[in-house]
Amino acid sequence: MESIKRNVLLNPGPSTTTDTVKYAQVVPDICPREQEFAGLMKGLREDILKTVHADPSDYTTVLFCGSGTINIDICLNSLLPENGKVLVIDNGAYSTRAVEICQYYGLPHIDLRFPVDELPDLSVVEQTLNDNPDIKLVHTTHNETGTGILNPIREIGALAHKYGAVFTVDTTSTLAMRPINVYDDNIDFCMASAQKGLMAMTGLSFIIGRTSEIIKSKDYPKRSYYCNLYLQYDYFEKTGEMHFTPPVQTIYATIQALKEYFAEGEEAKWARHTRVFEAIHKGLDELGFKDIIKREWQAGLVVSVRYPDDPNWSFEKVHDYCYERGFTIYPGKISTTNTFRLCALGAIDEEDINDFFKVFKEALNKYNIAIPAVYNV
């Protein structure tokens, strides 16, 4: 097996993958309607449940072909009963995306906004639930990837349940990285795509959800054909297959990635991401760069860094310098502040971050950007 040029991706997914995962895609051609392929997907669906400690007697995994946003779309449009309302707890770009999905489908919803650098106020969440008994679905984002803030999903889930609502959480940027337990974390539905925490390829997304709620949703208003949760679930149950063509090669890669996930182990993997995250902070601190979110609120996977107030600073130039040397850095996603992001996901470790900072510092020197970084406030 020839090794493939290794790039260190510090963007929030797709992530750096192992060569064994890349090569797992190179397999004989197969029609995904063959029993052999259905068998692979059955094992994959069961293994995905284990990543969040979900018991197959309560939860099921439903696979979809698409990027992670398809999961948010599917959960919101499929799990809202007639006359119900969605409550989105919104302190960042990914929860705002959920609000936009509600708008596109015309779903009754409340966009409960909080500042992007603050945790949601749980007393306001509770008051909103209390004032709106028609809220049947509560949605939020676990690690708001736009900033790296960790939302208190366990507490939000408990409130959702207290007021009789289903709780859906966008865990795309935590699942298979930061440990999740659907029971302890009060999660009815969570989701991710294969190219993030699992360190596989793009094109496969999945929802892990309470089977009883999916079955209940059979009679809810049907708002999409391709993106209906019950329809896809039912097809899997009856045939073992995806309703429409699955991303075949990505599924092979994901099966390999899950083997590697279980071999590394949940705790060891989280410890590795934490090492990477701390190395990112150490490198930034040494160069005087400042981040946006209070350190104790960060999920440990994304660092959102403020642009220095330096006339020579140019994200594009620094990006290009690093990119040419195998390191990818990523723009921010906050409308009010200029930021860039460094993320701790993928098959990387501390040494990669140390190597990255050597290159990053060279870029700063080359473009006469001051070290330590200059900030006016």
Length in residues, the chain: 377
Could you identify the residue written with the tokens 């750096």? 16
User: Are 301 and 343 contacting, i.e. CB atoms less than 8 angstroms apart?
Assistant: yes
Q: Return the structure tokens found at 21.
A: 């995962």
For the bound state, the minimum distance from the C-beta of residue 249 to ligand PLP, rounded and expressed in Å, comes to 18
Rank residues 196 and 210 by Cβ distance to ligand PLP and give the closer one.
Answer: 196
Q: Residue 83 corresponds to which amino acid?
A: N
CB of 101: closest distance to ligand PLP in angstroms? 11
3-state secondary structure of 70: helix
Cβ-closest residue to ligand PLP?
A: 68
Question: Min. distance of Cβ 6 from ligand PLP in angstroms?
Answer: 22
Q: Cα–chain-centroid distance for residue 213? A: 22
CB of 216: closest distance to ligand PLP in angstroms? 25
Stretch that binds ligand PLP, among 62-70, 237-245, 334-342, 353-361 (CB under 6 A): 62-70
Angle at alpha carbon of residue 188, lines to 261 and 251, rounded to 5° = 35
In angstroms, what is the minimal distance from the CB of 332 to ligand PLP?
13
Q: Kindly state the smallest distance separating residue 205's Cβ from ligand PLP, in Å.
A: 8
Amino acid at 201: M
Per rule CB under 6 A, is residue 95 in the interface with ligand PLP?
Answer: no
Nearer to ligand PLP, 63 or 373 (CB): 63
Amino acid at 153: I
Of the ranges 124-132, 154-162, 166-174, 338-346, which one interacts with ligand PLP (CB under 6 A)?
166-174
- SS3 for 273-288 is HHHHHHHHHHHHHHCC
Query: CA 8, 94, 243, 211 torsion: positive or negative?
Result: positive
Please select the residue that binds ligand PLP; options are 8, 13, 51, 280, rule is CB under 6 A.
13
Q: Site for ligand PLP (CB under 6 A): which residue of 67, 132, 249, 314?
A: 67
| Exposure of 95 in the CB half-sphere (CA atoms within 13 A) | 31
Q: Which of 145, 147, 217, 250 binds ligand PLP (CB under 6 A)?
A: 145
Structure tokens at 340: 């860039």
189 part of the interface to ligand PLP, by CB under 6 A: no
Q: Is 141 in the site for ligand PLP (CB under 6 A)?
A: yes
77, 140, 172, 339: which one binds ligand PLP (CB under 6 A): 172
Helix segments in the chain, DSSP class H: 19-23, 35-50, 69-78, 93-105, 122-131, 153-162, 211-216, 229-239, 248-264, 266-286, 315-324, 350-366
User: Is residue 170 close enough to count as binding ligand PLP by CB under 6 A?
Assistant: yes
Cα–Cα distance for residue pair 104/73, rounded to 1 Å: 10
Instruction: Give 351's contacts (C-beta < 8 A, 6+ positions apart).
Output: none
- Distance, CA of 195 to CA of 306 (rounded, Å): 26
Least separation, in Å, of the C-beta of 12 and ligand PLP?
5
- The answer to whether residue 94 forms part of the interface with ligand PLP (CB under 6 A) is yes
Q: Which is nearer to ligand PLP, 167 or 357 (CB)?
A: 167
Angle 96-328-192 from CA coordinates, rounded to 5°: 40
For ligand PLP, the closer of residues 91 and 145 by Cβ is 145
Nearer to ligand PLP by Cβ, of 40 and 204: the residue is 204
CA–CA distance, 288 with 370 (Å, rounded to integer): 9
Neighbouring C-beta atoms of residue 187, cutoff 10 Å:
27
Q: 78 with 227: CB under 8 angstroms? A: yes
Q: Does the footprint of ligand PLP cover residue 69 (CB under 6 A)?
A: yes
**Which residue stretch of 110-118, 167-175, 242-250, 274-282 sits at the interface with ligand PLP (rule: CB under 6 A)?**
167-175
Cβ closer to ligand PLP: 193 or 217?
A: 193
Least distance from ligand PLP to the Cβ atom of residue 92, Å: 8
Q: Which of 8, 9, 12, 250 binds ligand PLP (CB under 6 A)?
A: 12
Q: Which is nearer to ligand PLP, 193 or 304 (CB)?
A: 193
Give the number of residues in contact with ligand PLP, rule: CB under 6 A: 12
Site residues (CB under 6 A) for ligand PLP? 12-13, 67-69, 94, 141, 145, 170, 172-173, 193
